[in-house]
C-alpha cells in the first residue's frame, strides 16, 4: 500500500528526479502505507516537516537545494 502523501510529498518528487528512488520509495513510500516514514509521522501529527528530513529520521542538507 502506498503512502497517502505520495502525490504531494516534496521529497518524494526529489527522490524520483535524483534517481535515489528505489531505496526510499520501495522501503518507505510504497511499503505499509508509509507508516515507518518519519516524514509521514510528523505530517500525520500536523507538525511542520523539514525539507531535509529523510524517511529514516536523518537529515540530508542537499535536499534543501
Ligand atoms: S513515505 Fe514519507 S517520503 Fe514517502 S511519500 Fe510518504 S511522507 Fe513522503
| Predicted TM-score (pTM) of this structure | 0.89
- 45 vs 65: CA distance, rounded Å: 26
Spacing, Cα 31 to ligand 1 middle (Å) = 10
pLDDT surpasses 80 at 58: yes
List, for residues 4-56, the tens digit of each pLDDT value: 998 889 887 777 776 666 788 889 999 999 999 999 999 999 999 999 999 99
Does any ligand 1 atom lie closer than 6 A to the CB of residue 13?
A: no
pLDDT surpasses 80 at 65: no
- Give the nearest ligand 1 atom to 9 CA: 8
Does any ligand 1 atom lie closer than 6 A to the CB of residue 55?
A: yes
Q: C-alpha distances in angstroms, 34 versus 26, 61, 62?
A: 10, 22, 22
Which band of pLDDT confidence, cut at 50, 70 and 90, is reported for residue 57?
very high
- pLDDT at position 10 is 86
Amino acid at each position: 500500500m502506498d503512502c497517502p502523501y505520495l502525490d504531494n510529498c516534496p521529497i518524494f518528487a526529489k527522490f524520483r528526479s535524483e534517481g535515489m528512488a528505489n531505496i526510499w520509495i520501495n522501503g518507505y513510500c510504497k511499503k505499509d502505507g508509509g507508516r515507518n516514514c518519519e516524514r509521514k509521522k510528523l505530517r500525520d501529527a500536523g507538525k511542520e516537516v523539514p525539507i531535509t528530513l529523510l524517511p529514516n529520521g536523518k537529515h540530508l542538507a542537499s535536499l534543501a537545494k
